[in-house]
Each structure stands twice: as C-alpha cells, then as structure tokens.
Amino acid sequence: MPESGLLASLADNPYFSAGFGLVGVGTALAVLRKGGQFAFIAFRRHAMITLEVPSKDRSFQWLLQWITLNARKAQHLSVETTFHQNDTGKINTKFDFIPSPGTHFFSYKNHWIRVERSREKGMLDLHTGTPWETVTLTSLGWRRELFFEILAEAQKMALSREEGKTVMYIPMGAEWRQFGFPRRRRPLDSVILANGVTEKILADIKDFIHSPKWYMDRGIPYRRGYLLYGPPGCGKTSFIQALAGELEYSICVMNLSDRSLSDDRLNHLMSIAPQQSIILLEDIDAAFVKREEDEQGGQNMYLNRVTFSGLLNTLDGVASTEERIVFMTTNYLNRLDPALIRPGRVDIKQEIGYAEADQIERMFRRFYPQESDRNARQFARNVSNLGELKSIAQIQGYFMLHKNSPQAALENVNFLKE
Ligand code: ADP
C-alpha cells in the first residue's frame, strides 16, 4: 500500500521524527504549565482562604494592632505616633509600631497566616490624606471562621483599651476621627447640679434609648434634642461628658463656627456619626445671630458657611431609624431663634444656673469629706451672704486655693467677692 509505505518512510526519517518529538515536548510543557495554573487557581479557590480589609474599614486599625501583637517577629515596622495635649497643657505622646507595607507571616491557632499590607500607588483617601491601603490575610484551609475569630479578637483588644473611657470624636474631612486618647469616664456624681436635674435628664435619655420601637411604631424619627443653657462655668460641658460616661456613649463635638463646615458636610456628618454617641453642638448661639436682628440690620446673617436653615434641616433630618441624641449648649438662651428650640428639635431645655446653696454645700462636702455638715452649711451661708451669684467653677477655683485648709476656706469667703 502506498500510504502505509509513506508513513513508514516518514517514521524512519530521523529529522522528521526529531521535529515531531520536539513539538510533542513543547505541547506537553504548555499543557503542564496551563494545568499547573489551573491547579493553583483551583487550589487557591478551594484550599486557601483570604480576607481583604481596606483602610477605610473600621477593622483596619484594629487588625494592624492585633497583627503587631501576634506577628511579634515582624522585623519591618512602621511607626504611628499619637499626640495629645490635655487641658493642663501636659503632652502625651504614644508610639505604636505596626507592620510596614509588605508581606509578613505568623501563626495563629496552628495555622500559618500570610499578611500582605499593600499601598495603592497614587491613590489617596481624599478625606484623610492618607494613602489607600489594604491588608490581606491568607491562610491554608477552608475554615472561614478563623478570620471571624481574628477580627473579633482584634476588636476586643481595641475596645478594651477604651474600657472605662469616653471617646471623643471631631470632624475630619467628611468623617469623624477620634480626638486624642480616650478620657477616663467622669463620674456623674462629680458634677453637682441643682437638685433633681441630673436624675431628670438621665431618666429621660435612658427612656429614649430604650424605646426605639415606640418611635418606629408611630413613624416618629428616632431622635431627641437637649438644650443646656446658663452662664459659663456652671457645668454644662462637664455634665454632658459625665452623662456620656454613665451611658457608655462617645461624644461627637461639632463647632458650628468652623468655617470649613458647610450645610452638606454638617448633614453628612450627622448622618454618619458613630453609633451610641452623643452629638454635641457647643455654644450654638455663637454660630448665628438672631434672624430678626439680621433682617433689621440687613447684614449677612451667617458668620460662616453653615446656614441657619441648613442647621434646621439637619436637625430635622430624614426620618431614620438610627438613634440620634443631640445636645446643644449656650450661655445666652435669649439669643437663640425660637425656630431652633421648638419641640422636635429641642425636646428638653434645662437651665444650668449659678450655684444654689444646696450645690455649694455639696461641693464643700466633696472637697472636704472629713468636715461636718454644719461647716458645709455655714460655708454655703457665708457665700450667699456675699450677695453675688457664683458659678461652680468659681467655687472650685476658690477651694483649690485652700486645698488643705477647710477652716481657711470657711473664713476667707470674702476672697470670692468680685
Ligand atoms: P460650662 O460648660 O457650663 O461653661 P464646664 O462644664 O466647662 O462649664 O465647667 C468648667 C469647670 O468647672 C470644669 O473644670 C468643671 O469641673 C467645673 N464645674 C463647673 N460646673 C460644675 C458642676 N456643676 N459640678 C462640678 N464641677 C463643675
């Protein structure tokens, strides 16, 4: 047969069979390589687990801190410095070492975990000005719970640092950023208000916190507004701090006179405030002049970019199921526009006024616990005989002058005279 003769002669030809062999080897290699790739993809898909956490996510910082503790042998670190000056002027600086961008390994519960911290080139988080980053954890196996456990541990570790503390937030760009170190909680009984005021507000706020369903059933936005007014140094700010401590809430402080704050930003910040936080708008009178005055004066009614109607709109908000607690403070109630303090925007108005005799007595006892009630009453009488109203801050300042001598405090009350 001519065909079989041809095949036989080709097979006998050494050049032809060598070429054929080479093609065969090349094909086999290509198949192997492709197969290897498929196998790796399949392996990654079925036998490896990965978790990607972008820097925008709240877990990101927690996770970095946690990895620092667990990957003790990580040799390549970045430093993160927190700097805080407290009221007394003392400066605290804290250095945290966190794994630097790159790849690190550590073992957790008998699993090897690979950490890759990568920084996107040329991508900035516009809100914070920091590079956009991700941390990716990879491990062998298919137990996804491993990552949940890690995240839960990281969260617990981070929150335990805040235990017993009140966290303050301030606006930074379009988001809330923690301000300084969490502060030790201020005990509620360290703020001495007129009889019954603390109890009344605490009961109201607790009742509010415990009744989301009541609001939802009636289609009422779940928010409550409080206005504390009165002269400076009488405890408005201290009381809000102590309340937050008592409720284990954080405080988001917003200064409406901030010129970089616009209506949109205000609205946005309000809607993304951390859960379980009190929003504090301090010295609300300073941000706006009364509308009538403005209309008469014909001047620009706004001292900054937040407009009065913008603030009202933000306070009214869109009906939301999110809990919203807003505290406003002012030294001058009469400077506030009635539209701002009508029910719905401000549900409870409370004066925090000059020290009453009973408060002065309690302050005395708090400062000099070993002294008799008689002396405390005498001190209060001496102060009221001055015929001048005093703030608790003034009384506190006076006690500081007589730290170790209650007797001198009793006798020198005239020092308090203006
Ligand atoms: P306000 O916000 O009314 O101007 P602050 O709360 O800032 O007053 O008080 C200023 C200082 O005076 C703080 O150090 C605070 O401890 C003290 N102080 C003022 N009022 C009280 C009060 N009612 N009880 C205890 N301390 C007070």
pLDDT digit string (tens) for 234-288? Answer: 999 999 999 999 999 999 999 888 878 888 889 889 888 888 999 999 989 877 6
- Residue 291 identity: R
Two tokens, residue 148: 């949940």
DSSP state of 56: T
The most confident of the ranges 40-49, 105-114, 258-267, 272-281 is 272-281
> What values do phi and psi take at 226, rounded to 5?
-125, 140
CATH architecture for residues 172-351: 3-Layer(aba) Sandwich (3.40)
Give which of 352, 371, 362 is closest to 395, Cα–Cα.
362
Q: Where are the alpha helices (DSSP H) in 211-320?
A: 212-218, 236-247, 263-271, 284-287, 291-297, 308-316
The full set of domain ranges for the chain reads 48-162, 172-351, 357-416
235 pocket-lining for ligand 1 (C-beta < 6 Å): yes
192 pocket-lining for ligand 1 (C-beta < 6 Å): yes
Pick from 332, 396, 399, 400 the residue to mutate for probing ligand 1's pocket: most ligand atoms within 8 Å of its CB.
396
Distance 116 CA to ligand 1 centre (A): 49
pTM metric for this prediction: 0.71
Asked whether the predicted pLDDT for residue 128 surpasses 60, the reply is: no
- Could you report the predicted ipTM of this complex, rounded to two decimals? 0.98
pLDDT digits (tens, 9 = 90+) for 306-352: 888 888 988 887 645 678 999 999 999 998 999 999 888 999 999 99
Question: Which residue's CA is minimally distant from atom 20 of ligand 1?
Answer: 235
- Report the atom number in ligand 1 closest to the C-alpha of 232: 4
- Which of 8-17, 50-59, 200-209, 389-398 shows the lowest mean pLDDT across its residues? 8-17
b/e burial code for range 391-416 (CB count within 10 A of at least 16 → b) = bbebbbebbeebeeebeebbeebeeb
Distance 228 CA to ligand 1 centre (A): 13
Distance 400 CA to ligand 1 centre (A): 14
238 pocket-lining for ligand 1 (C-beta < 6 Å): yes
- Residue 143 identity: R
